[in-house]
Structure 1
Amino acid sequence: MKKNQLIIMLVSLFTSMLSFAQQPESQRPKVKVTGEIVEKTTNQPLEYATITLINTKNPKALAGGITNNKGEFSVDAAPGVYDIKIEFISFKVIEIKQKEITENINLGEFALSEDANQLNEVVVRAEKSTVEIKLDKKVYNVGQDMIVKGGTVSDVLDNVPSVSVDTEGNVSLRGSDNIRILIDGRPSNAINVAEALRQIPADAIDKVEVITNPSARYDAEGGSGLINIILKKGKNQGLNGTFIASTGIPETYGVSANANYKTEKLNYFTTAGYNYRTNEGGGLTNSQYFNPDGTPKSFLDETRDTERIRKNFNGRAGVEWVINPTTFWTNAINYQKNSGDDIDLINYNEFDANRNFTKATYRLNDGVAASENVEYTSNLIKNFNDKGHKLTVDASISRNTDDNNSIITGTQGKNNTLNNQVQKQVLLQADYVLPISEGSRFEAGYKGSFGDLNNEYFVLDGVGDRINSLSNTLEYKENINAFYTQFGAKIKNTKFSYLLGLRWEDTDIQVNLLDTKEFNTKKYNNLFPSAFVSYEISDQSNFTASYSKRLSRPRGRFMNPASNYSSNINIFQGNPDLDPSLTDKYDIGYIKRWDKVTFNTSAYFEDTKDVFSFVRSPTGRFENGIPVILSKPINLGKEQKFGFEFTLNYTPFKWWRINSNFNLYNVQTTGEHSYIDENDVVVTQNLDNKANSWYARINSKLTLPYKIDWQLTGMYNGEQKTAQGKSLAMFGMNTAFSKDILKDKATVAFNISDIFNSRIMKSYTYFENQTSYGEMQFRKRQFNLSFTYRFNKPKNEREKGSRGDNNDGGGEYPG
């Protein structure tokens, strides 16, 4: 069978290369053979393709190597006459006979075409590592991670190096939530990004790219970097696909399927799924109040129980058309519909100065949520030649609605809240790449993003009358036009590469409060330079240094002045007068590869002006004698962050793989905030703060007897001081088991999320006359069982990137 031939070929290649590596120094290679290997129909580089040189006079004298992520190879060989073989699994072999090599030579580009027979017969294929560490980004391959089976995108992101997701679903990178989230290279159009990520099933995700210092080709938004979520797109010839069913505790179940049908000219792909999810959570806030002389005045204990139920349908369908060998056009429609219930019960227990119980009250928020998102995307790629000269054009249009209505009942009466949002978004983008000479290229492009959001928020009292002080209608319009250019090259006869870029963005934002006739217009334009330098120490190690200027625009809940009214004494409210923050970002990195180990480390520094920060302050209002506290975002002033991070991939044995990530950082903020207290006195808070914190994650995957795979992941967030208190440390652990059945056509997986039920956000907050201790757990421990069935699709298939993707080039180093 072909698979046996494949195994023999790999063993022979490994043995011959090992023998070659053990030759005496005098017989070591003296000339360098280079070139590039791509896929013929798409012109996409093939990573891990092999090149073998066999000396015709001495067959034992072998040389060989594999391609990097750009499809490039570099092989050292002694001068002589060679038979050259170019190979990649499931592709036709290219052979060159009697090639005389006497000096350094570039063999040019080899275009491999698919072998239909091998595509139908090959079952065992090289399995990618769960985490790939590259110079400019980390790539997390989702398909092999059992922990996220039956989960959502939020679960996926919570297992990605450098990324963490808190109990409310907010995503942060290197400890900062100042990031930009992309889906297939485009910004997420969802109104509530955290909620949207919890609705997309993990099974729809192919991989996640983490780019901590993007180049000028990417949006300038995201002070701490970008996270690019890439959806699955099958590429195997013929009809193939996957079916997945899952169930869990608390009550959770779902079914999803993806199918792909590929012909010579057309590739049809579709994904559909339904999920019913129950998230049980809870929290508490214990507050102590003081008299002006510092003596205890009273105590208030709040306990909260939450249950969020979501019914979600996701659908995606598209077709990729090979117009001719150099032109590809992809069109797709994405549809998502969600509905659900939000139940939030808060019990209040009041005590006097001696902690004697005085009164109990409650507040029940019974909410109904519904959203519908529709998006059409189109992508056109024109390759002018096989050297990388190409034009890419993207367009998308979307419409999102999000409705949340609640009935709030309690000891003090009844209220209704209605929050209805409609968002429309149009995106246009063009990217042009021109190779100028060997090892250098020029890029330029344009991007236009045009959005319109209308948000109606009403709070009604017990008899149905609107409470004007808590209600508003927000109109938010955002138009952004951007141009960029960059040039990269590898300096001849050196090991240095560089990439220099400049981006210009013009922003026009309108934030209008229609009820109160408050109109805010913010217009600004900025230049965003970027620079990257790479030094190739050896084939196994590289050093990089980079700089970029980044920007963060306030959006969504940051800008919306609608109050979160689930608690009438702890209220959150957005700030429509927020200004964008600007960040100067520096990064120095080093990567080293051994046979079983890949080590990547970096030191980074971020200098941010007008940074967003949440502050809590008394409003001067009281509810039954209890002061009402308002939490809102402000432009604090300045923040400087210095950190050190390393990622380690270690494979001690074929059956055991370990990935780990560690991040240590120091944050220093400078600024102040003023508010008016209950006596109409202006109070100024000094919010200067210095804090150290660290974050660690380790993931172990090993194969047990009877071919049972076991995965265990642990993560730890260190304690961090804040300007108004501190956040306590948090630890969590997940585990999963999986077993292939039905001749490896199906897989059964069982996972436990938060084994010890310990992922609880805990914090202290200090005011002049009040201290509070709080806990919040968005999701309690969960159990999940899933069944996956594959048809005409091997478990470890290597799917090639879609020709319609436009995810490359941002931080790639030339050369």
Structure 2
Amino acid sequence: MKNFNLTVVLLFLFLGLPNFAQQGPPTINKIKVTGKIVDKTSKQPLEYATITLKNTKIQKALTGGITNNKGEFEADVIPGIYDITIEFISFKHVELKGKNITEKTSLGTIGLEEDASQLNEVVVRAEKSSVEIKLDKKVYNVGQDMMVKGGTVSDVLDNVPSVSVDVEGNVSLRGSDNVRILIDGRPSYAVNIAEALKQLPADAIDKVEVITNPSARYDAEGGSGIINIILKKGKNQGFNGTLIASTGIPEAYGLSANVNYKTEKLNYFTTAGYNHRTNEGGGKTNSEYFNEDGTVKNFLDENRETKRTRDGFNGRVGVEWTVAPDTYWTNAINYEKNTGEDNDLINYSNYDASHNFTGTTYRLNNGDTGSENTSFNSNLIKNFNDKGHKLTVDASISRNTDDSQSIITGSDNYNNTLNNQVQKQAQLQADYVLPLGEGSQFEAGYKGSFGDLNNEYYVLDDQGIRIDNLSNTLEYKENINALYTQYGFKKNKFSYLFGLRWEDTNVQVNLLDTNNFNTKKYNNLFPSAFISYEISDQSNLTTSYSKRLTRPRGRFMNPAVNYSSNVNIFQGNPDLDPSLTDKFDIGYIKRWDKVTFNTSAYFENTKDVFSFVRSPTGDNVNGIPVIKSQPINLGKEQKYGFEFTLNYNPFKIWRINSNFNLYNVKTTGEHSYTDTKGDLIVQNLDNQANTWSARVSSKLTLPYKIDWQLNANYNGAQKTAQGKSLDQFSMNTAFSKDLLKDKATIAFNISDVFNTRIMRSYTYLENQTSYSEMQFRKRQFNLSFTYRFNKGKNDKEKQQPKKMQEENGGDFPG
């Protein structure tokens, strides 16, 4: 109850903040100036072009703006005569002298020409990490963020507000793992998405979009929202690129290159990289067992040491062709190959009821893994005019293979496991946008997604004979067809966006060994609505609703048994049904001179929510009950929370960013199953819990132009239906320095400075209590060197315009 009262107090406190902040002297009526900036040759909109308006009579009357992704800008000025300057990096600037502005004025479409003299000094905007805060989406330009240099996509996501990555690499958004992961707007179809994200290098990423309440334009998939990872694609004229080398402790090293060559009509881009990574970890599970009368039966301590090595190569090559001044066609091929070794040693220590040592056993799992992924993507954009009327068509095909083999030896057993997976995917999408006048727009589109997965899993005994009850062959086919339409318009200070999406799903889950065939067909309507009110030029209020869906995939569906421990095992559930979520969100954003504040209150109501349940199987190993962890459709989950992000720039050399999320989650449901003895077991899983998380990031420029970055993360404890997870704190830090006239950068970072990133939990079952710790990766040190050829950081990039910092909420260093 105290936590609920705290939530209410905080909510009213921050929602009342804008009223307090608005008090002040009256302002002069201003006039709005608008326009659009494009590439004069290709007619392509220029995002982040700067517009400066200087009053010729009042020198202090200086204002300006930054263009959005459509090349559009707007600025508010007092009436007067202005000299206007339009600038964009590597383009010739345009000046409009003595412009008399006495009423609302449109400068129309202004074309900029490329400046050949600057082509060898062109910059990459993404060299520094910044955040663009919108009411329904946050875009994090992670770029060359020094905190994650030499790392992976998982490292990048773990430094993004509202997003967290656990010790096993699983991604969650606002505390929920029902999140949809997209790469360049397309879903990743890797069977183990957590492992796939740990293989893709951070250097390949341009930015990350976090969409907590998506509109009808997006897939309905992802109960808690969507995370879209956008890869780099060079846009600079001529031949240029970046080389990055890194090394680290524990053993890790890598080399990657991003190169592109652009002519007037063709833009060739490529990314290639090799990395070797070693993750050392470990954990323990201490269990106490009870007799039926409640007295202590015995104790078991499991101590685990893990070491995982990965060698990975990734390559991407593509070309963007300007077919005509209003038509662009991009084709790209992606290839990834990874190999690795897994070593997992578990030592079991047995104790009697008085905790006297009675003996020890061990279990060693040595495994080899390999995966290969190939995909082809094609994108066609047809612009019918320069006002946003366009047609976009996307097509992609992919093939992913994932193979692994493990030899499990122990004190009294020997097993061999084999796992072979092949997944094929095809996707076709078309989106049509039609502006219907000033401030209104109609959209419609289609998307078809067609997938096929075949997974063979075998467990062999010490004689090489297949153990049937642990082996299986899974065939999973999924066909999804979707149509959507949405209409947005603006009236006075209100903006509206209403949409409707229809998705038809046909899923086949077949267990071929047991001839168990299961077909699931369902179709759903997914409405969405967004209403925004512009309180002032510096503040905005919005409310939104959407219906979301989460389909079970990957390890949730795969019935292959994780057999590394013979008393604590994990198994997927091919009989899972999708869950449906109704999402409500109220958001507010306010900008001051040095501060940007963004907050939201949200509520989510989910039916058939997925939940991991630990259940005794009825089997025993040396008198120890075997516990199986498996996902189920639990019943209902209700979640309400409050989140805010605060960006503060106290000085030009110092930026502070923080994120806070407080929520309450209530689940209702029970789990019924029959154990191996034929007994019906019913587990009541009703639960209600409060928890919170906080993240603070600071970036400070030290003497000699050394950048210092520090991130601290805290996740609060949370009660679960079968126990509780304990709190977790971690800290990362990094230093970087530009060299060779800013053509090179050296960076040093430490991940998990205090080695405290450990998942800890208690589990309470009917005849067992357990305490567990798991650390997937111990503290790491990493050193990287970046060299940019035919491009460099210049002053325009380093000293980002103040107006742009205000619009974006300041730079976000991770």
> What TM-score comes out, normalization by structure 2 length?
0.92
Q: Which residue of 2 aligns with 1:148?
A: 148
Distance of aligned partners of 1:60 and 1:339 in 2 relative to their CA distance in 1, 3 Å threshold: closer
Say whether 1:305 aligns with 2:297. no
User: Which residue among 581, 584, 587 is the counterpart of 1:586?
Assistant: 584
User: What does residue range 378-397 of structure 1 map to in structure 2 within 5 Å?
Assistant: 378-397=378-397
CA displacement at 1:526 relative to structure 2: 0.3
Q: Which residue of 2 aligns with 1:611?
A: 609
User: Which residue among 716, 733, 737 is the counterpart of 1:739?
Assistant: 737
Q: Which residue of 1 aligns with 2:347?
A: 347
Distance of aligned partners of 1:78 and 1:148 in 2 relative to their CA distance in 1, 3 Å threshold: closer
- Range with bigger deviation, 120-129 or 595-604: 120-129
- In 2, distance between residues paired with 1:124 and 1:354? 66
- Range with bigger deviation, 102-111 or 580-589: 102-111
User: What does residue range 286-301 of structure 1 map to in structure 2 within 5 Å?
Assistant: 286-301=286-301
- In 2, distance between residues paired with 1:240 and 1:733? 35
AA at the equivalent of 2:317: A
User: What does residue range 705-744 of structure 1 map to in structure 2 within 5 Å?
Assistant: 705-744=703-742
CA displacement at 1:42 relative to structure 2: 5.0
- In 2, distance between residues paired with 1:784 and 1:364? 30
Say whether 1:572 aligns with 2:570. yes
* Secondary structure at the counterpart of residue 197 of structure 1: helix
- In 2, distance between residues paired with 1:427 and 1:688? 40
User: What does residue range 547-566 of structure 1 map to in structure 2 within 5 Å?
Assistant: 547-566=545-564
Question: Is residue 252–residue 276 contact of structure 1 (8 Å, CA) maintained in 2?
Answer: yes
- In 1, distance between residues paired with 2:62 and 2:724? 59
Distance of aligned partners of 1:798 and 1:374 in 2 relative to their CA distance in 1, 3 Å threshold: farther
Q: Which residue of 1 aligns with 2:265?
A: 265
What RMSD over aligned residues (CA atoms) do the two structures have, in Å?
Answer: 2.0
Q: Structure 1, residues 34-67: CA drift from partner, whole Å, max 9, x if none? A: 2333444253352352142545xx4748553203
Distance of aligned partners of 1:126 and 1:63 in 2 relative to their CA distance in 1, 3 Å threshold: farther
User: What does residue range 342-381 of structure 1 map to in structure 2 within 5 Å?
Assistant: 342-381=342-381
- Range with bigger deviation, 315-324 or 30-39: 30-39
Q: Which residue of 1 aligns with 2:159?
A: 159
AA at the equivalent of 1:173: L
- In 2, distance between residues paired with 1:275 and 1:458? 30
Question: Is residue 130–residue 145 contact of structure 1 (8 Å, CA) maintained in 2?
Answer: no
AA at the equivalent of 1:248: G
Question: Is residue 172–residue 178 contact of structure 1 (8 Å, CA) maintained in 2?
Answer: yes
- In 2, distance between residues paired with 1:276 and 1:107? 53
Q: Which residue of 2 aligns with 1:47?
A: 48
CA displacement at 1:388 relative to structure 2: 0.6
- In 2, distance between residues paired with 1:124 and 1:359? 62
The number of equivalent residue pairs is: 772
* Secondary structure at the counterpart of residue 469 of structure 2: helix
- In 2, distance between residues paired with 1:615 and 1:27? 60
Distance of aligned partners of 1:356 and 1:538 in 2 relative to their CA distance in 1, 3 Å threshold: same
Q: Percent identity?
A: 77
Q: Which residue of 1 aligns with 2:326?
A: 326
Q: Which residue of 2 aligns with 1:188?
A: 188
Distance of aligned partners of 1:31 and 1:310 in 2 relative to their CA distance in 1, 3 Å threshold: closer
CA displacement at 1:703 relative to structure 2: 1.1
- In 2, distance between residues paired with 1:27 and 1:459? 75
CA displacement at 1:132 relative to structure 2: 2.7
- In 1, distance between residues paired with 2:556 and 2:216? 26
- In 2, distance between residues paired with 1:564 and 1:762? 20
Question: Is residue 546–residue 587 contact of structure 1 (8 Å, CA) maintained in 2?
Answer: yes
- In 2, distance between residues paired with 1:27 and 1:441? 32
AA at the equivalent of 2:654: W
User: What does residue range 20-59 of structure 1 map to in structure 2 within 5 Å?
Assistant: 28-40=28-40, 41-47=42-48, 49-52=50-53, 54-55=55-56, 58=57
CA displacement at 1:513 relative to structure 2: 0.2
Distance of aligned partners of 1:25 and 1:420 in 2 relative to their CA distance in 1, 3 Å threshold: closer
Question: Is residue 654–residue 700 contact of structure 2 (8 Å, CA) maintained in 1?
Answer: yes
Q: Which residue of 2 aligns with 1:19?
A: none
- In 1, distance between residues paired with 2:476 and 2:394? 25
Distance of aligned partners of 1:125 and 1:407 in 2 relative to their CA distance in 1, 3 Å threshold: closer
* Secondary structure at the counterpart of residue 91 of structure 1: coil
- Residue segments in structure 2 that go unaligned for 5+ positions in a row: 1-23, 799-814
* Secondary structure at the counterpart of residue 437 of structure 1: coil
Q: Which residue of 2 aligns with 1:526?
A: 524
Distance of aligned partners of 1:529 and 1:111 in 2 relative to their CA distance in 1, 3 Å threshold: farther
Question: Is residue 50–residue 88 contact of structure 1 (8 Å, CA) maintained in 2?
Answer: no
Q: Which residue of 2 aligns with 1:757?
A: 755
Question: Is residue 123–residue 797 contact of structure 2 (8 Å, CA) maintained in 1?
Answer: no
AA at the equivalent of 1:239: F
AA at the equivalent of 1:44: P
Q: Structure 1, residues 772-808: CA drift from partner, whole Å, max 9, x if none? A: 1111110011111111111012136879xxxxxxxxx
Q: Structure 1, residues 721-761: CA drift from partner, whole Å, max 9, x if none? A: 00000000011111111111122111111111111111000
Question: Is residue 667–residue 690 contact of structure 1 (8 Å, CA) maintained in 2?
Answer: yes
Q: Structure 1, residues 154-201: CA drift from partner, whole Å, max 9, x if none? A: 000000011010000000011111000111111112221111111111
* Secondary structure at the counterpart of residue 167 of structure 1: coil
CA displacement at 1:131 relative to structure 2: 2.7
- In 2, distance between residues paired with 1:306 and 1:226? 32
CA displacement at 1:625 relative to structure 2: 1.2
- In 2, distance between residues paired with 1:633 and 1:726? 17
AA at the equivalent of 2:588: Y
CA displacement at 1:123 relative to structure 2: 6.9
Q: Structure 1, residues 297-356: CA drift from partner, whole Å, max 9, x if none? A: 000000110000000001110111111110111111000000010100011111110001
* Secondary structure at the counterpart of residue 143 of structure 2: helix
- Residue segments in structure 1 that go unaligned for 5+ positions in a row: 1-23, 800-815
Question: Is residue 617–residue 675 contact of structure 1 (8 Å, CA) maintained in 2?
Answer: no
Distance of aligned partners of 1:678 and 1:235 in 2 relative to their CA distance in 1, 3 Å threshold: closer
CA displacement at 1:143 relative to structure 2: 2.3
* Secondary structure at the counterpart of residue 436 of structure 2: strand
Distance of aligned partners of 1:332 and 1:215 in 2 relative to their CA distance in 1, 3 Å threshold: same
Distance of aligned partners of 1:595 and 1:683 in 2 relative to their CA distance in 1, 3 Å threshold: same
User: What does residue range 301-700 of structure 1 map to in structure 2 within 5 Å?
Assistant: 301-491=301-491, 494-677=492-675, 680-700=678-698
Q: Which residue of 2 aligns with 1:8?
A: none
- In 1, distance between residues paired with 2:592 and 2:78? 24
CA displacement at 1:667 relative to structure 2: 0.3
AA at the equivalent of 1:523: K
User: What does residue range 106-117 of structure 1 map to in structure 2 within 5 Å?
Assistant: 106-117=106-117
Question: Is residue 480–residue 505 contact of structure 1 (8 Å, CA) maintained in 2?
Answer: yes
Q: Structure 1, residues 528-573: CA drift from partner, whole Å, max 9, x if none? A: 0011111111111111111100000001111111111111111111
Q: Which residue of 2 aligns with 1:66?
A: 65
- In 2, distance between residues paired with 1:798 and 1:379? 30
> What TM-score comes out, normalization by structure 1 length?
0.92
Distance of aligned partners of 1:490 and 1:314 in 2 relative to their CA distance in 1, 3 Å threshold: same
Question: Is residue 339–residue 370 contact of structure 1 (8 Å, CA) maintained in 2?
Answer: yes
- In 2, distance between residues paired with 1:26 and 1:652? 26
CA displacement at 1:68 relative to structure 2: 5.0
Question: Is residue 37–residue 49 contact of structure 1 (8 Å, CA) maintained in 2?
Answer: no
- In 2, distance between residues paired with 1:769 and 1:27? 70
Distance of aligned partners of 1:452 and 1:30 in 2 relative to their CA distance in 1, 3 Å threshold: closer
AA at the equivalent of 1:687: L
Deviation beyond 2 Å, 4+ runs, structure 1: 24-48, 58-64, 67-132, 675-681, 795-799
Distance of aligned partners of 1:307 and 1:87 in 2 relative to their CA distance in 1, 3 Å threshold: same
Question: Is residue 239–residue 261 contact of structure 1 (8 Å, CA) maintained in 2?
Answer: yes
CA displacement at 1:146 relative to structure 2: 1.1
AA at the equivalent of 1:258: N
- In 2, distance between residues paired with 1:138 and 1:714? 20
AA at the equivalent of 1:676: T
Distance of aligned partners of 1:124 and 1:164 in 2 relative to their CA distance in 1, 3 Å threshold: closer
